[in-house]
Amino acid sequence: MTSTTLSEERRTVMLDQLEQVMLDEGFVGMTVDDFAARLRCSKSTLYRLAPSKEQLVATVARHFFSRAAKRIEAAVAAAPTPPEKLEAYLSSVGTEMARGTATFHEQMASQPATAALYRTQSQIAAERVRELIHNGVEAGYFDVADTEFAGQVVATVINAIHLGSYAVALYGGPAQAHANLSQLVLYGVIGPGRGRATGATNGVRVPRRRRASRPVRSPR
């Protein structure tokens, strides 16, 4: 049987439940029997979602990232200015990623069923940060010479926070670590003498020197 035999509502509910199990406990040591026990359903019902444990885990991971992305982008869309959009993105990513334990993130990054997806999402985050900073540069809010590098740095720190290589315990956990990152980025991209990104400008464009927003690439 395939996932099409489940109603869309039932499928979404089950994926939400499996997502929470994985966020809380990880998945490496879990079997399909364990997942069925957590959801109080039969194994055959789970196999309607995916034909194997590995594919089930990958399906749940895609569900997690898809739903998180929608909430993150909704927060960005609601923010009126480039600095507030960047801050909304970083804080929302922090909120979404902090839902998972360090074990969840370590397993997502290292296991064959999810590692490629996790890397892809990291690159998406890097490109989105680059885009948001670039938009701020073009609108006159930010002063950044290399937006691509900035995006890659932010994505690397986000991964470090959730893989446990960043001492989050010293800073109140992942949510506070993301708040620290947000402030670091915002203070860094606003440029010298411009004040706080979301406060001092009050939505008023601040003049800046014109710079290229992308690095000049060396010929290959």
Instruction: Say if 26 falls within a structural domain.
Output: no
Please state at what angle helix 115-139 crosses helix 174-190, rounded to 10 degrees.
30
- What is the greatest pairwise CA distance in the chain? 63
Instruction: Say if 114 falls within a structural domain.
Output: yes
Distance, C-alpha 216 to centroid of its chain: 28
* Residue 124: CB atoms within 10 Å: 13
Instruction: Say if 32 falls within a structural domain.
Output: no
Instruction: Say if 93 falls within a structural domain.
Output: yes
Mind listing the pLDDT tens digit for each residue in 114-155?
999 988 888 888 889 889 988 998 998 888 778 888 888 887
Q: Are 155 and 185 in contact (CB under 8 A)?
A: no
Instruction: Say if 53 falls within a structural domain.
Output: no
Domain count, the chain: 1
The length of the chain is 220
Domain holding 117, by residue range, is 58-190
Mind listing the pLDDT tens digit for each residue in 9-26?
999 999 999 999 999 999
Instruction: Say if 22 falls within a structural domain.
Output: no
CATH number of residue 128's parent domain? 1.10.357.10
Outline where the chain has alpha helix (H): 8-25, 32-39, 43-46, 53-78, 82-97, 102-110, 115-139, 147-163, 174-190
Instruction: Say if 84 falls within a structural domain.
Output: yes
User: Which structure tokens are listed for 165?
Assistant: 């290589």
Instruction: Say if 213 falls within a structural domain.
Output: no
b/e sequence 59-86, b meaning 16+ C-beta within 10 Å: bbbebbbeebbeebeebbeebebbbbbb
Mind listing the pLDDT tens digit for each residue in 184-202?
888 776 655 444 444 433 3
